[in-house]
Structure formats: structure tokens, C-alpha cells
Homo-oligomer: A and B are copies of this chain.
Amino acid sequence: MSNIASGNTIAAVAALIGDPARANMLSALMGGQALTAGELARHAGVTAQTTSGHLARMADAELVVPQKQGRHRYYRLASPEVARVIEALSVLAAEGPKRHHPVGPRDEALRRARTCYDHIAGRLGLALADSMQECGHIVLADGAGIITPAGMRFLAETGIDLGSSPSKRPLCRTCLDWSERRPHLAGRLGAALLARLLDLKWIARTPDSRALRITKAGESGLAQTFGIPHDWHSRP
């Protein structure tokens, strides 16, 4: 009875994500960067051959998109929608059976600041969201936010470019942080913020990890622009 067709299709997608090797690859791609097949193989803990098969299937289902470059083959998540599925699954997985509830990234660096697909998560993500809200630049409410006129000016001054695209992508979403259990900024604003902070070299990516490092320049920049104190990162 009812709509078996759509049920079947969501099953197909979920089954694809439901393999440990593939799930690890997708988690790794949540870092937002494109990774080579080899790197993904290492993340997944399986051989290159096996990885190749997995990637082919995921590309076919349009969960990831391949990009040839020299003798490497880069893969990235196909869309923010894919990221949302992983994100929603993470929330569920973190809550999960209460067997060992003290979960979340064990790594302190990840807790402090990390990428979440194309925006910033961890305590830095929360601090940025809090700051912008306190300054009246955005109004957050339940999973999304509105950028105020003052906020628009602030973004322009700070060089954060939302890209005046006619894109259907939400301007300002929030994303539930699975380590801190509070929302941080996602959507186009979140993406632009990450891009700008990387561009200013206030934060830097860490090789082989989703962790973000706050640079010397970043410490003062974040303090001046967002009012985030220097000693912020030492506090839980």
C-alpha cells in the first residue's frame, strides 16, 4: 500500500550511506574539501580497489562528484542536501543508544574549531554566531536566521561576500553542532564566513583533519571584529 516507490528510493540512498567504509568517506568529505580516491581509501580503512567501487556507486547515485585532475581523481560531496543528510544522521548517531553517551569529537582541536562541510563548527562556530547575534547583525530563530540591515553593512565592511547569486540556497541556516549541541551558522552566510576567515588567514585548515587552527593574526582579528577574547580558546 501507499507510496512504496519513494520509500524504496530513500532506502537505496540510505543503504548507500549505510556501509561503514562509505560512511567514513562521506564523513571525511564533510570537511568540505575535495579528497582524492587514495585519501578516501585511507579514511575508510579499505584498499584502493574497494574504494574505487564504492566511489563509483556513490557517484552514480549523485552523492559525490568526481573531478579529474592529473593522475588524481578528486571527489567532493555533490550538494548541500547530501551534507544535510549526513548532518541529520550525525545528530541521531550522537544521541543514539545511551550506552556510551559521553560522545562527540574526542580530539580537543576538533572541539575548538572545525569545518562542517562548508562552514565553521565547534566552539569557534558558536562564538561567531553568538557574537553576531549580540551585535544585532543577525536574528536567529529555530534553525535559521535573518540578516539585519546593520548586519548587511557589517558583512560588507568585513569583506564577507554572500555572492548575489539567484541561488535557492538559504542565506542563513543554522546547523546543530553535534559536539556542543548548540546551533552555529550555516547556509550561504556560514560558507561566506568560512571563506573570508580563511582568506584573511585568521584560520587555517589542518592537513588530514577537519580541525581548524586559529592563527596569530586570527586571534587579534577575531577579538577586534567579533569581540572574541584572546583567551577564549583555553576555556571549555
Q: Which A positions have Cβ atoms within 8 angstroms of B?
A: 1-20, 22-24, 26-28, 42-43, 45, 60-63, 79, 81-82, 84-97, 103, 105-107, 110, 139, 141-146, 170-174, 178, 187, 208-210
Contact = CB atoms under 8 A, between A and B. Distances in A.
What is the oligomeric copy number? 2
Nearest to A31: B2
Contacts of A146: 139, 141, 146
A20 B27 contact: no
B14 A18 contact: yes
Interface majority SS on A: helix, strand, loop or mixed?
helix
A8 B18 CA distance: 9
Nearest to A24: B7
Contact of A92 (B18, B22, B82, B174): B82
Q: What 8 A-B pairs have minimum CB-CB distances, sorted nearest first?
A: A15-B18, A144-B144, A142-B170, A11-B23, A14-B18, A9-B93, A18-B18, A14-B17
A218 B17 CA distance: 42
Nearest to A210: B2
